[in-house]
Amino acid sequence: MLKHPFAKLIGLAFESRDKGRSVCKLSVSEKFYNPQNVVHGGVLYSLADTGMGGALYPLLKSDEYCATIEIKISYFKPVREGTLECRTTLINKGKTVASLESVIFNHGVMVAKASGSYSIFKPNKVVQ
């Protein structure tokens, strides 16, 4: 499993990760609230983004990385408590770009849906 300091910071945990699929969860806390006392959209976005990376990484070669190109997210319902569950599925993987979809649930109800594109690349050597 990759080290993921941001996921650790917010308490996000993977329930499962496999080639092209992932499920991650996050317990709702007031620290995630916006001024309207509901979970900030950025928290849901972070779940989708992290879930997509988690589904894509098992498909990469050992010398490849991925990075988010773009994500479009739609928010359907406010979240105030409980556990958020993000289910991600790979839609398509090419040589340099992958497309994924995440659906986020709270108490079994869909609260957001996101689609994203990820760059697949080999890192450049650092020149000093």
Instruction: For residue range 39-93, list pLDDT tens digits in order.
Output: 999 999 999 999 999 999 999 999 999 999 999 999 999 999 999 999 999 999 9
What the chain holds in terms of domains, given with CATH numbers, is 5-121 (3.10.129.10)
pTM value is 0.93
Rounded CA-CA distance 59/62 in Å is 9
Question: What is the distance between the alpha carbons of residues 108 and 50, in angstroms, rounded to a whole number?
Answer: 20
User: Is residue 69 within 8 Å of 97, Cβ to Cβ?
Assistant: yes
Longest dimension (CA), the chain: 51
Residue 29 amino acid letter: S
